[in-house]
Structure 1
Amino acid sequence: MKWVLRELSDYKNKPLYVSEKMDLSQDIMERYSKYVISANDKFSVDAYVFYDNGNAIVNAHVRGNIVVPSSRSLTPVDLPLDFKIDEVYVDTKAQLKKYEEEDEAAFLLDDDGVIDFDKSVADNVILQIPMHILSPDEKNGSEMPKGNDWEVISEEEYDNQKTDNKKVDPRLAKLKDLFNDSDK
């Protein structure tokens, strides 16, 4: 989806409504291949585009599915996505500063005044990927990954190891009190 800001001026009173199935797989895989395994599903996008005093306001609802690696074992995990995008496109730096002060997502258009909403949707897809992703087996508590001289342990196991390491060897117990007297 691409729009030219000048052409959107026809939608002052009534917004432009667009409903499309977008194939973003090539763009996502080219730009974000280290975060996404595959993005074969077409994304369903319903968008309203408003023109307001030289600015374009886009409100969109995006639904789709991508495959990402598990954060624990790197096994592929299906990740269904359903999110909203609210963005403002402006043509001057002065207008951009106004929206930045209001903490809104605002973008400065290039000299041509073209809004490339496909790239925006792809960027927002990546923003929707959580930091911690587990496969269904990992969620159900299956065995943690391990290899030669390493293993992943749970926080509970780590806490238990810390308390075990705090226990003092009985042969060295008297040395523990040695430095307490020297402080006085």
Structure 2
Amino acid sequence: MKWSLSDSLKNQEPLQFDDTLDLKSDLMDRYPSEVLDLTPVHVSGTLRNEGGQVVLTAHITTTITVPSSRSLEPVALPEDFEIKEYYVNTQAALTQFEESDVVLVIEDDIIDFDKAVGDNILAQVPIHILTDKEEQGAPMPNGEDWRVISEADQEQEKKDNQSVDPRLAKLKNYFPDQDDK
């Protein structure tokens, strides 16, 4: 869906929408290693003129499939969230907003709602993603000459390997006041 910013600023009545978008191929093309699948995206909301700027509020639901951050196995993440974005036509208009507001300056007069929805879907994906088995304590992945370890295991290995090189052990006698440091 695309709207003209100038037409939206002229319109005094809010534009209501309730639609299903197919953004799967767009997101998979833009982010091939991050997006494995995407169900059709249901969007509903309003686009309205509010004092010289266009305000978009929308409710978005979909399920995105992304790789596990541990094993790269596919993980389906249901998403259900709200967005509120402001669209303005000049940089000067940015001063009237809070830092936490999402404000976009539109230079070519076109509000590309599909791109905004896709970007917000990706923004909802957490950094740490695990499959159900991984959350329940499945063994960490490993391979030939490598393995994934937890932070607790790493700390334990550091403690276990803190033996002093015998060639440097005599240096400890030179600084007796700094033992255990």
Q: Give TM-score scaled by structure 2 length.
A: 0.88
- Is 1:116 the equivalent of 2:112? yes
1:89-130 Cα shifts (integer Å, max 9, x gaps): 00111113433x54311111123x221111000011111111
**Runs of 5+ unmatched residues, structure 1:** none
The partner residue of 2:127 within 122, 131, 134 is: 131
Quote the residue 1:180 is aligned against: 175
Runs of 4+ in 1 over 4 A off after TM superposition: 171-174
Q: Matches of residues 2-17 of structure 1 in structure 2 within 5 Å?
A: 2-9=2-9, 11-12=11-12, 14-17=13-16
Kindly state the Cα deviation for residue 168 of structure 1 after the two structures are TM-superposed.
Answer: 4.6
CA distance in 2, matches of 1:58, 1:182: 66
Larger helix proportion, structure 1 or 2? 1
Asked if structure 1 preserves the Cα contact closer than 8 Å seen for 2:9 and 2:53, the reply is no
- Is 1:106 the equivalent of 2:100? no
Q: Give TM-score scaled by structure 1 length.
A: 0.86
CA distance in 1, matches of 2:103, 2:168: 64
Change (3 A) 1:23 1:177: same
Kindly state the Cα deviation for residue 11 of structure 1 after the two structures are TM-superposed.
Answer: 4.7
1:114-151 Cα shifts (integer Å, max 9, x gaps): 21111000011111111110011111111110011110
Report how many residues are paired: 178
1:2-53 Cα shifts (integer Å, max 9, x gaps): 11123324653x52221111111111111111211112x1111111112023
Could you say what the CA RMSD is over the residues aligned between the two structures, in angstroms?
A: 2.3
Quote the residue 1:52 is aligned against: 50
Percentage identity across paired residues of the two chains? 39
Helix, strand or coil: the match of 1:177?
helix
Quote the residue 1:164 is aligned against: 160
Helix, strand or coil: the match of 2:175?
helix
**Runs of 5+ unmatched residues, structure 2:** none
Helix, strand or coil: the match of 1:130?
coil
Q: Matches of residues 22-41 of structure 1 in structure 2 within 5 Å?
A: 22-39=21-38, 41=39
Change (3 A) 1:19 1:180: same
Helix, strand or coil: the match of 1:77?
strand
Moved more, 64-73 or 53-62: 53-62
Quote the residue 1:21 is aligned against: 20
